[in-house]
Structure 1
Amino acid sequence: MKNVILITMLSLVLGACASSDTAQVVDEAPIKYKDLSLKDQRDLVKEYWVVEKRQEPKYPLAAAKKGLSGCVDLIVGINQDGKTSGYKVKNSYPKGVFDNHAAASLKKWKWSATEGNIDRTPVLTSIQLDFMVSGAKNAKEAKSKCGWDYKV
């Protein structure tokens, strides 16, 4: 008898927790981005958007202690409001060391539409953020992997 009462009580509690989803789904059209993410198209983004606010990434303490330099190349979406609308890590060296710090800084970037970008066309672009510490143990390899053309 106690089991029947317990099962009945549990059924009532669980039944009360169930709710019908009355939220209305807004049918938004997907954003159509102009893809400028290829390496030879990076500079074309300047025809559409200019960086208004740039947040430099924080250097990971563990990487600094180990004397590591590197880079993160990200594909970034710039929406019609001039804000970062998403990102994907395209490549990084050393893998995973600087990724989160690079992404966190890019989320804070803001862009202004150029005079020629009257429609505020959303774009995908590629941005590489470099992380350098003097006396890096991996300086030569970082220079090679990150494509740096300056002396390390």
Structure 2
Amino acid sequence: MKKYLYISLISLLTGCASNQLATDSQDNSNYESNFADLALSTDAEFNALWKVQKRVDPGYTADAARNGLSGCVTVKFVVNRQGKAVAQQITDSFPFGVFDKTALEAIKQWRWQPTQSNPEKTPALTEVKFDYMVQGTKNKAPAEKH
């Protein structure tokens, strides 16, 4: 009897999970289609549409400081009609993964306001590079190459 109960429960949970996956992929495809026609803006193109209203510097992780690590993270994202960064994606990271979390946390707090030439609040795709440098770094040469 317990065997049938477990099988029923697993079937039910699997069914719920597959429905959730379908819903998530539908939401993502719809979400991505909203920005699919956006090309990465040059600085001039982006600055003609949006200006930074609130900028938050990323934190420097204690582990990276303790280990004397410098690095950088480039984040690509869309500024939506509300002036918020959405669809964030790490496009470059050195050392890999060390500063990613702090870069994403910072960019999520940034806010933009449309310029006078952007009354429609047209979304724009752009990227920001965060540099993390500390004196006496152990990886200065490779960090500067990025």
TM bin (shorter chain): 0.7 to 0.9
Structure ID, larger Rg: 1
Q: Percent identity?
A: 35
Let me know the Cα RMSD of the aligned residues. Answer: 2.9
* Structure with a larger share of its residues in helix: 2
Q: Residue 40 of structure 2 aligns with which residue?
A: 36
Mark the runs of 5 or more structure 1 residues left unpaired by the alignment. Answer: 146-152
CA distance in 2, matches of 1:7, 1:137: 58
Q: TM-score if structure 2 supplies the norm length?
A: 0.75
In structure 2, do the counterparts of structure 1 residues 72 and 7 end up closer, same or farther at CA, with 3 Å as the change threshold?
closer
Q: CA separation in 2, counterparts of 1:43 and 1:56?
A: 22
Instruction: Go from structure 1 to structure 2 and tell me whether the alpha carbon gap of 1:86 and 1:52 turns closer, same or farther (over 3 Å shift).
Output: same
Name the aligned partner's letter for residue 34 of structure 2. Answer: I
Residues 47-97 of structure 1, C-alpha deviation per residue, up to 9 Å, x if partnerless? 111110111111011110010111001111110110011211111111111
Structure 2, unmatched stretches of 5+, are: 14-18, 20-25
Structure 1 residue ranges, 4+ long, deviating more than 4 angstroms after superposition = none
- Cα offset for 1:7? 8.7
Cα distance in 2 for partners of 1:55, 1:112 equals 15
SS at match of 2:43: helix
- Give, in angstroms, the shift of residue 42 of structure 1: 3.1
- How many matched pairs? 132
Distance 1:42 1:140 in 2: 27
User: What is the TM-score normalised by the length of structure 1?
Assistant: 0.73
Distance in 2 separating the partners of 1:79 and 1:62 = 33
